[in-house]
Amino acid sequence: MKFILQDSKRCIFVDEDCSLEEIVIERLSEGNYSSDTYLFEAASKTENRIIVTTDDKLCRQMNNIATYNVVNLTDFLKQY
Residue 71 lies in a domain: yes
Residue 3 lies in a domain: no
Residue 20 lies in a domain: yes
Cα–Cα separations (whole angstroms), residue 35 to 48, 66, 79: 22, 21, 28
Q: What's the number of domains the chain is made of?
A: 1
Residue 4 lies in a domain: no
Task: Quote the pLDDT of residue 10.
Answer: 64
pLDDT, tens digit (0-9, with 9 covering 90-100), for 4-26: 556 666 666 777 778 899 999 99
Residues spanned by the domain of 46? 14-79
Give the whole-angstrom CA distance, residue 77 versus residue 14: 25
Residue 36 lies in a domain: yes
pLDDT, tens digit (0-9, with 9 covering 90-100), for 37-63: 999 999 998 889 999 999 999 999 999
Task: Quote the pLDDT of residue 79.
Answer: 86
DSSP the chain: -HHHHH-TTT-----S--PPPHHHHHHHHTTT-GGGHHHHHHHTTSSS-EEEES-HHHHHHTTT-TT-EEEEHHHHHHH-
Using pLDDT thresholds of 50, 70 and 90, give the confidence band for residue 72.
very high
Residue 39 lies in a domain: yes
